[in-house]
Amino acid sequence: MSISRLIFHNFWIKTVSLVIAVLLWWAVARDPRVEVVLTVPIEFHHVPPELEISAEKVPQAEIRLRGPARMVRELSAADIHPIIDLQGASVGERTFDLTPRQISLPHDVDVEQIVPSQFRVSFDRRVSREVEVRPRVIGTFASGFRISEAITSPKTITIIGPERRVNAIESAITDPVDASGVIGRATFTTNAYIADPLVRVAKPAPIHVTVVTERHSGRAGVP
């Protein structure tokens, strides 16, 4: 195919495309540059599988951005990704710098300032262990009856988390089970609760609490 044929083939389509490109460039070039501040959560990449971050709150950074007004005004926190690479991290405290090079953001937008520019993160070993599940039974029982036994199934659950926090957990406790009016035996389905937000149940599943009541000579009450 000759050069002239290459140039004039689909000439009008090429011309329109060129005009559109020039107009877009002209619009962007005339668009004033403005600044906005967004608060975004820090993203931790390459976390070693044997470690846990010992922080109850996800660290956040205020990032001041500058770019074309039309683009910057449409930005949200979901468009900005401050990334800290944890590859090679070990147990203990470590300080990380957060620089503009670690911010993933749209083209033509620049990072002007990051507050704070450093983060100190504590790491602990990830461990697991079994703890007892203790039932929590409430209610007013029929006259002449009281609880003789409250049985959980399963009796223990496995918890996972930072070693220091896991070792401080003595037991899990169920949500309140209202056994009002139970005469004899009744089974309730509920859930187990771990008080530490950094410790989680390995395999969350319903907990069954069987409440057994018996006659007694005292008066009814609330246990």
Residue 121 has pLDDT above 70, yes or no: yes
Residue 194: pLDDT band (50, 70, 90) is: very high
- Among the residue ranges 26-35, 54-63, 133-142, 202-211, the one predicted with the least confidence is 26-35
* Residues 143 and 202 reside in one and the same domain: yes
Domain range enclosing 142: 126-215
Residue pair 145/103 in contact (Cβ under 8 Å)? The answer is no
Q: How far apart are CA 122 and CA 101, in angstroms?
A: 23
* Range list of H helices, the chain: 3-8, 11-30, 69-72, 163-167
Cβ proximity of 207 and 133 under 8 Å: yes
Residues 200 and 137 in one domain: yes
Are 180 and 139 in contact, with CB atoms under 8 Å apart? yes
Reported as a pLDDT band with limits 50, 70 and 90, residue 221 is: very low
CB 94, CB 54: distance < 8 Å: no
- Main-chain phi, psi angles of 16, to 5 degrees: -60, -40
pLDDT at residue 140, rounded to an integer: 85
Q: Over the stretch 67-94, which tens digit does the pLDDT of each residue have?
A: 888 888 888 899 999 999 998 899 999 9
Q: Are residues 211 and 177 in the same domain?
A: yes
Does the residue 154 lie in any domain? yes
CATH number of the domain where residue 198 is located: 2.170.120.40
| Alpha-carbon span 209 to 182, nearest angstrom | 13
Show the tokens assigned to 174.
């169920």
Q: What is the pLDDT of residue 100?
A: 93
Q: What is the pLDDT of residues 20-49, one digit of tens each?
A: 665 565 555 555 788 889 999 999 999 899
Determine, yes or no, domain membership for 76: yes
CATH number for the domain that contains residue 111: 2.170.120
Q: Report residue 132 CA to chain centroid gap.
A: 26
| Pair (104, 153) in one structural domain | no
Q: What is the pLDDT of residue 107?
A: 84
| Residue 190 domain-assigned (yes or no) | yes
pLDDT at 3 over 60: no
What pTM was computed for the model?
Answer: 0.71
